């Protein structure tokens, strides 16, 4: 949820972001917190009138809140670089000299507050490994790219809300895809999280036969158990300014 306030004190929540038919403009679907009424505003107008509501939390409190929600592994994370094709790629945070060591002797740099701050400032982009060593997890992400990603994402959110579950929508780095985040109050087996994701997709397909759901790419988590000696797949953290340069970055829920 992203909350903004205007110069005259109107507080709104950004519910969703939509592109115009020709793709030249973006529009925000907003809700006034006072009377729950909704309205649509073009992005440039919105950014002139509203600013992100400030928080009274300290930096350390914000970091603690973030890590309590995005509760992946913090003994390792994924670093990023831009390849020759201009695309971002990720690799585990091995300590220097790892290539000369056998896999069982390689060590990792931990995900520290300093690394997180750099990520939030847009100086780098990192990934988080969602599966813990006991094969449990605290969140699941559904990834949609191209095609009917907008319609599919809204359908998934509707199906979830009808069953008293909250789906948090995040526009992907390219602007042509979507991540849907589900957060659990406590750790659950990764196998159960994946079964939950599959069942939700099945329900959405059954109730929206007009959609192909060809835009669905994958789930994070990608497996039920952690391979021996491995860390396997990761998911990119939200809120990096590299991903969404405007003040409306973050999750739209």
| pLDDT tens digits, 128-143 | 889 998 999 999 999 9
Tell whether 222 and 128 lie within a shared domain.
yes
User: What is the C-alpha to C-alpha distance for residues 167 and 100, in angstroms, rounded to an integer?
Assistant: 43
Tell whether 113 and 226 lie within a shared domain.
yes
251, β-bridge pairs: none
Domain enclosing residue 97, as ranges: 56-253
User: What is the C-alpha to C-alpha distance for residues 80 and 73, in angstroms, rounded to an integer?
Assistant: 17
Tell whether 183 and 208 lie within a shared domain.
yes
Tell whether 28 and 104 lie within a shared domain.
no
Tell whether 152 and 203 lie within a shared domain.
yes
88 versus 27: which is more confidently predicted?
Answer: 27
Q: How many domains does the chain have?
A: 2
102 versus 207: which is more confidently predicted?
Answer: 207
121 versus 195: which is more confidently predicted?
Answer: 195
Tell whether 23 and 104 lie within a shared domain.
no
Provide the whole-model pTM. 0.71
> Sheet of 78-82: strands edge to edge?
88-92, 78-82, 127-128, 235-236
What CATH number is attached to the domain comprising 199?
3.90.920.20
Give the model confidence (pLDDT) of 49-108 as tens digits: 888 776 677 888 888 888 888 999 999 998 888 888 888 888 888 887 777 777 777 788
């Amino acid at each position: 949820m992203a909350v903004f306030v205007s110069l005259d004190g109107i507080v709104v929540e950004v519910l969703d972001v939509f592109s115009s038919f020709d793709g030249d403009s973006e529009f925000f679907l907003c809700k006034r917190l006072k009377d729950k009424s909704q309205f649509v505003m073009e992005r440039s107008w919105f950014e002139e009138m509203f600013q992100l509501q400030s928080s009274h939390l300290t930096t350390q409190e914000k970091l603690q809140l973030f890590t309590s929600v995005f509760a992946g592994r913090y003994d390792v994370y994924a670093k990023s670089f831009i390849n020759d094709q201009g695309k971002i790629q990720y690799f585990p945070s091995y300590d220097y000299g790892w290539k000369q060591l056998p896999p069982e002797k390689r060590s990792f740099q931990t995900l520290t507050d300093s690394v997180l701050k750099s990520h939030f400032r847009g100086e780098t982009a990192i990934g988080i490994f969602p599966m813990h060593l006991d094969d449990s997890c605290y969140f699941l992400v559904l990834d949609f790219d191209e095609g009917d990603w907008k319609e599919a994402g809204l359908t998934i959110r509707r199906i979830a809300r009808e069953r008293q579950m909250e789906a948090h929508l995040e526009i992907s780095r390219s602007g042509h895809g979507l991540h849907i985040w589900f957060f659990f109050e406590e750790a659950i087996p990764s196998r159960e999280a994946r079964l939950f994701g599959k069942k939700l997709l099945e329900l959405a397909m059954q109730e929206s036969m007009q959609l192909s759901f060809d835009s669905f790419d994958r789930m994070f988590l990608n497996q039920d158990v952690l391979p021996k000696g491995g860390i396997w797949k990761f998911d990119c953290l939200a809120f990096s300014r590299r991903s969404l340069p405007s003040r409306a970055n973050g999750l739209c829920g």
